[in-house]
Amino acid sequence: MSEADNKNKEINEFLNKSYEYGFTTEIESETIPPGLDEAVVTLISKKKKEPEFLLNWRLKAFNHWKKMPKPDWAKLSIDPIDYQAISYFSKPKQDGGPRSLDEVDPKLLETYEKLGIPLHERAKLAGVAVDAVFDSVSVVTTFKDKLAEAGVIFCSFSEAAIDYPELIEKYLGTVVPIKDNYFAALNSAVFSDGTFVYIPKDVRCPMELSTYFRINEAKTGQFERTLIIAEEGSYVSYLEGCTAPMRDENQLHAAVVELIAHKDAEIKYSTVQNWYPGDEDGKGGIYNFVTKRGDCKGENSKISWTQIETGSSITWKYPSCILRGDNSTGEFHSIALTNNLQQADTGTKMIRLGKDTKSKIISKGISAKSSQNTYRGQVTMAKGAKNARNFTQCDSLLIGSDAGAHTFPSIDVMNSSSILEHEATTSKIADEQLFYCMQRGISEEDAIGLIVSGFCKEVLNELPMEFAVEARALLQVNLEGAIG
């Protein structure tokens, strides 16, 4: 074997490190049979004791979805999905909902422990409030009391539908309408649970909010719905993390996230997505089709998306901002790492309607082995979007010679006073960089990690401290103590 082959082999072994979250949990669960029709939609709504308006909304979405053409897959290669073979609701069996952590099934807690989220202690230490969604149901929300003092509402979507129906009715579907796209329509019809956050006027949310999603049951889909409303002058930072067990068949995850920032409000939304990516031959893995959009409704409002996408066999998501308020700001910071046969098609849309709006897009794609990594961005400057500014930086890093990186920036300017900047680079990890690190005593594995984290620096810096650490680890980096 030549030296180059040997090196490739080492790199491959490193990249092949197995998925650590691929365990399943044996819990009795209540899963409705696969299939989708009006009765199933109604059943979901009834099981959740939802108000009437919500059921009607779901049915409207369902009837629209039925008529929609299946999406065109752009750069992705994908087998057809049989929507009748999926179960649209699964919940861990337990009488009534848990009222406190002590009532939560210990097996569930163990699962979270394995995922590295001990709800009991670590959350407290970290000062993070966690909402954990297991398959379709929100299991427990920690720190409710402390948040309630500040007037912050942080609960499962199901609870919110019952406790705060007027807020749900007012905002649900205003940012991502039912008809937005195929998966948004499907989600609107069958969403099972998710997270609801409401930050009252002038309140700075006293802690990081965070939700962990996990798909456990076989043959289920996860369709969560997140709605975050930041009233005038408020601030919130929210993080979601996702994992799923290893399974041979593909599982569907089609979420919708809607953010609303009123005047002078700021929402920081971070995602660490580590769904099961499938095995080396591309068998199994999550189809991650997500619609995320924020509405900078008020003047001076700001929404920033940060995402670390390392999992899923197919990722298809474009967290976007509608910059409606004058002087509002939208940001998108993304790291997408693909390996083996993973495919990621991700990017953002910045739609500028207001005057003097600003947006910044930083995208870092890392592709290894035979994976395909696509950035797709759209910046639209409407007629009224005078003096809008956009900066896009889009960098790709290739590891090995079979991987692909593609970028499709698209720009629509309908006025003459907008300023757009776009920078793009593609690079490879050079053997000489590895040699340099190794000459300094650093193992090849750690060297790759260091080089990748250097490449991703601007985005990692956007994450809250404790999650930046997790994200680095997820990027298979051993940077222990090396944060400069």
Partner 1 sequence: MTKILSIKDLHVDVGNTSIVNGLNLDISSGETHAIMGPNGSGKSTLAKTIAGHPDYKIRSGTIMYRDHDLNDLSIEERSNLGVFLGFQYPIEIPGLSNTAFLKAAINAKRKYHNLGDLSASDFLVDLKEKSRMMDIEQKFLSRGVNEGFSGGEKKRNEILQMLMLEPVLSILDETDSGLDIDSMKVVASGVNAFRNENTASLIITHYERLLNYITPDYVHVFHNGAIIKTGDIQLARDLEEKGYEWLTNP
Q: Does 363 bind partner 1 (CB under 8 A)?
A: no
User: Which residue's CB is nearer to partner 1, number 161 or number 397?
Assistant: 397
Structure tokens belonging to residue 443: 């193992």
E strands present in 215-313: 224-230, 235-243, 250-253, 256-261, 266-274, 285-296, 302-309
Q: CB of residue 431 vs partner 1: minimum separation in angstroms? A: 8
Contacts 24+ apart (CB under 8 A), 459-463: 459/306, 459/308, 459/333, 459/334, 459/335, 459/362, 459/364, 460/335, 462/270, 462/304, 462/306, 462/333, 463/239, 463/270, 463/272, 463/306, 463/308
Nearer to partner 1, 419 or 438 (CB): 438
432 residue type, one letter? E
Nearer to partner 1 among residue 69 and residue 484 (C-beta): 484
Residues 6+ apart with CB under 8 A from 202: 231, 232, 233, 234
Of 7, 114, 144, 360, the one binding partner 1 by CB under 8 A = 7
Cα–Cα distances (Å) from 278 to 232, 246, 270, in that order, read: 43, 7, 24
> Which of these, 369, 360, 358, 364, lies nearest to 327 by C-alpha position?
358
Stretch that binds partner 1, among 3-11, 98-106, 176-184, 351-359 (CB under 8 A): 3-11
Shortest Å distance, C-beta 391 to partner 1:
18
480 binds partner 1 (CB under 8 A): yes
For partner 1, the closer of residues 240 and 462 by Cβ is 462
CA dihedral 211, 220, 318, 410 (to 10 degrees): 170
Q: Which of 74, 85, 419, 438 binds partner 1 (CB under 8 A)?
A: 438
d(CA 341, CA 107): 33
Task: Give 87 or 453: the residue with its C-beta nearer to partner 1.
Answer: 453
Q: Which amino acid, 35? A: G
Residue 100 makes contact with partner 1 by CB under 8 A: no
2 or 416: CB nearest partner 1? 2
**Per-residue x/- mask for partner 1, residues 444 to 473, rule CB under 8 A?**
x-x---xx-xxxxxx---------------
Question: What is each CA distance from 161 to 43, 169, 190, 260, 379, in whole angstroms?
Answer: 16, 9, 14, 17, 34
> How many Å apart are CA 240 and CA 222, to the nearest integer?
14
Q: Which stretch binds partner 1 (CB under 8 A): 162-170, 355-363, 367-375, 442-450?
A: 442-450
Shortest approach of partner 1 to residue 247 CB, angstroms?
36
Kindly state the tokens that stand for 416: 């003459």
Token duo for residue 40: 């199933």
426/433 with CB nearer partner 1: 433
46 versus 457: smaller Cβ distance to partner 1:
457
Note whether 81 binds partner 1 by CB under 8 A: no
Closest distance to partner 1 from the beta carbon of 421 (Å): 19
Check: CB of residue 239 under 8 Å from CB of residue 209: yes
Q: In angstroms, give the least distance from the CB of 352 to partner 1.
A: 29
C-beta separation of 160 from 196 below 8 A: yes
Write down the least CB distance from residue 460 to partner 1, Å. 9
Residues near partner 1 (CB under 8 A), total: 32
Site for partner 1 in 377-436 (CB under 8 A): 430-433, 435-436
Interface with partner 1 by CB under 8 A: which residues?
A: 3, 6-7, 430-433, 435-444, 446, 450-451, 453-458, 479-484
